[in-house]
């Protein structure tokens, strides 16, 4: 709601200049923008079968970019509906309020996130154990000799 505070000029009532308020708003929005990905990446790492992590991350990025494109078009439509132009800002506060309410609507979908132990795997065992592990004794690794790949010309 910091954009709404700036548009309604409430920051000046609290004695905060516009420049300082915008710097703090940009900092907070960057931090929140980075933190919002953390739960999604943790959940997706538990859901992703081994071997397709890159594809799954690309899918998440494409979904995010589609959402950004859709929100840009929706914002333009909202500005057109409220007749907000470069010179007319009388309904800008209402458009910002609607945008902020729409930003928190995904919280209504939190019931779709499974409730389980954060340390447990969500995938079934047969899907998560697709890579076989071979146990080798530690004594085999002690006798490894490293060989130079290039012949030294001084040894002739």
Cα(98)–Cα(100) distance, integer angstroms: 5
Find out whether 122 and 46 touch, Cβ atoms under 8 Å.
Answer: yes
Residue 123 phi, psi (nearest 5): -75, 150
Cα angle, residue 150 at apex, residues 144 and 151 outer, rounded to 5°: 100
pLDDT (tens place) for every residue of the chain, 156 residues total: 788 888 888 889 989 998 998 898 888 888 888 888 888 787 777 777 778 888 888 888 898 899 889 999 999 999 999 999 999 989 989 998 998 898 889 889 988 877 776 666 655 666 555 554 455 555 555 666 666 666 666 655
Does residue 89 lie in a domain region? Answer: yes
Does residue 18 lie in a domain region? Answer: no
Cα angle, residue 100 at apex, residues 66 and 114 outer, rounded to 5°: 65
Structure letter (DSSP) for residue 150: S
Does residue 29 lie in a domain region? Answer: no
Domain tally, the chain: 1
Residue 124: name the closest of 60, 54, 52, 47 by CA: 47
Does residue 92 lie in a domain region? Answer: yes
Most distant pair of Cα atoms in the chain: their distance = 88
Domain containing residue 132: 36-155
**Two structure tokens written together for 110:** 């939190």
**pTM of whole model > 0.85?**
no
44 CB neighbour count, 10 Å cutoff: 15
Does residue 116 lie in a domain region? Answer: yes
Cα(83)–Cα(92) distance, integer angstroms: 9
Residue 42: name the closest of 129, 114, 125, 131 by CA: 114
């Amino acid at each position: 709601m910091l954009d709404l505070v700036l548009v309604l000029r409430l920051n000046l009532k609290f004695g905060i200049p516009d420049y300082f308020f915008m710097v703090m708003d940009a900092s907070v929005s960057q931090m929140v923008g980075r933190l919002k990905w953390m739960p999604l990446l943790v959940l997706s790492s538990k859901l992703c079968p081994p071997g397709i992590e890159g594809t799954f991350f690309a899918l998440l990025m494409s979904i995010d970019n589609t959402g950004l494109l859709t929100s840009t078009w929706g914002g333009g439509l909202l500005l057109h509906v409220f007749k907000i132009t470069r010179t007319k800002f009388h309904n800008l506060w209402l458009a910002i309020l609607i945008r902020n309410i729409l930003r928190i609507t995904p919280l209504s979908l939190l019931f779709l996130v499974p409730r389980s132990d954060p340390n447990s795997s969500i995938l079934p065992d047969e899907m998560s154990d697709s890579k076989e592990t071979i146990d080798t004794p530690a004594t085999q690794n002690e006798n490894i000799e490293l060989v130079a790949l290039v012949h030294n010309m001084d040894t002739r």
